[in-house]
Amino acid sequence: MFIGLSLYLAISQIRKSLVDRIIPSFACRAVENNDFISLRVLLEKVDASCETYDEFTPLHTACELGNLEMINFLLSRGASPHRKNRFGNCPMYMAIKNRQCHAVKLLSLKGVTVRLQTVRIAMEMIQAVHNRDYPLLCAWFLSGVDMDAKDYNERTVMHEAVYLGDKSMISRLLGYGATPLERDVWGQTAMENAQNDTTIMALFEPFFTTRCPTKQAYLLFKAEHSHI
């Protein structure tokens, strides 16, 4: 009798463990299908931040798809926007990488940030500049990251845009708040690299050549005009 009860309890525990592992996958599938009814039922059994085998949460899936209603719903149910999956990616990063700009803006307005090393952010933004991936750059900008973030060589997106001679990209980056004033490991700013290109220099003049020729001057100007 005792052995039978022990076996029953063991089987029940195994069954519960299997169900707990399966439900998060069902929850993510419900998000994919925009199935709020099923998702509500599933979240009665598990936490809103439940994780699949790869540590994806329903919020990861909602952000990847850019489903604003799902994102709002999951956040209202207590889903953590800071959980990282097995690959080290948070929900905000999933929205950025999938160029879901509306989702990125929503998360940013709610105070959510992308939790990555600054060097990695810089490298990914520089690659986006190299690929002329405007939607991806817009997503990075909307996430609130520093557009002057530096890679391992302390190069910024503006260094890359000037190197490519991409005036359209330079104009876009200036609109996003990037500056040509940061120095790389060789001591060069993007503006110094552009000295021989009058068309690029025209984009920097007169603001960065006269009013704010240094990063310190730019930051002071920005602080003084932050209320505008």
Q: Which pLDDT score is estimated for 185?
A: 98
Rounded Cα–Cα distance for residues 67 and 22 (Å): 23
| Selected residue with higher pLDDT from 26 and 2 | 26
Beta-carbon neighbour count of residue 62 at 10 Å? 29
User: Of the given ranges (9-13, 82-86, 118-122, 207-211), which has the lowest mean pLDDT?
Assistant: 9-13
Q: What is the pLDDT of residues 65-92, one digit of tens each?
A: 999 999 999 999 999 999 999 999 999 9
Percent pLDDT > 90 in the chain is: 82
Rounded Cα–Cα distance for residues 96 and 128 (Å): 12
- Quickly state the pLDDT bin for 228 (edges 50, 70, 90): low
Q: Which pLDDT score is estimated for 20?
A: 62
Q: What is the pLDDT of residues 98-147, one digit of tens each?
A: 999 999 999 999 999 998 999 999 999 999 999 999 999 999 999 999 99
The string over 144-181, giving b where at least 16 C-beta atoms fall within 10 Å of a residue's C-beta and e elsewhere, is bbebbbbbeebbbbbbbbbeeebeebbebbbebebbbb
User: Of the given ranges (3-17, 152-166, 201-215), which has the lowest mean pLDDT?
Assistant: 3-17
How would CATH label the architecture of 18-109?
Answer: Alpha Horseshoe (1.25)
Same fold, 18-109 and 118-224: yes
Q: What is the pLDDT of residues 39-51, one digit of tens each?
A: 999 999 889 999 9
Question: Average pLDDT of 152-162?
Answer: 98
**Considering just the CA atoms, what is the radius of gyration of the chain in Å?**
24
Q: Which pLDDT score is estimated for 222?
A: 85
Beta-carbon neighbour count of residue 49 at 10 Å? 18
Task: Provide the CATH topology of domain 118-224.
Answer: 1.25.40
- Quickly state the pLDDT bin for 19 (edges 50, 70, 90): low
Q: Which pLDDT score is estimated for 4?
A: 57
DSSP track, 174-203: HHTT--S--B-TTS-BHHHHTTT-HHHHHH
- Quickly state the pLDDT bin for 53 (edges 50, 70, 90): confident
Question: Average pLDDT of 5-32?
Answer: 67
- Quickly state the pLDDT bin for 11 (edges 50, 70, 90): very low
pLDDT higher than 90, residue 22: no
pLDDT higher than 80, residue 212: yes
* Domain residue spans of the chain: 18-109, 118-224
Q: Which pLDDT score is estimated for 8?
A: 46
- Quickly state the pLDDT bin for 21 (edges 50, 70, 90): confident
Rounded Cα–Cα distance for residues 205 and 196 (Å): 14
